[in-house]
Amino acid sequence: MNYKQRRQLIQQLVEENHIATQEELLELLKQHGVVATQATVSRDIHSLNIAKVSSSDGQS
């Protein structure tokens, strides 16, 4: 899987799931057969302009 495909999958996972941490995202990626480091996922998140937001109950 190239970086464009990985980033598309990350975007899809973020839209479809409540993800509170990068570790949770890494686990979801792993479940989809994608092995990536935390640093790589962090760069992908930054590139996709994904920001952590709090829910109405104050959780991330």
Collect all residues with Cβ–Cβ distance below 8 Å to 15 and sequence separation of at least 6.
Answer: none
B/e letters for 7-38, b = 16+ CB within 10 Å, e = fewer, are bebbeebeeeeebeeeeebbebbeeeebebee
pLDDT of residue 52: 83
The predicted-structure confidence for 4-18, as pLDDT tens digits, reads as follows 999 999 999 999 999
pLDDT of residue 59: 64
pLDDT of residue 29: 98
pTM of the model: 0.87
The predicted-structure confidence for 30-60, as pLDDT tens digits, reads as follows 999 999 999 999 999 999 999 988 766 766 5
pLDDT of residue 53: 81
Residue type, 9: L
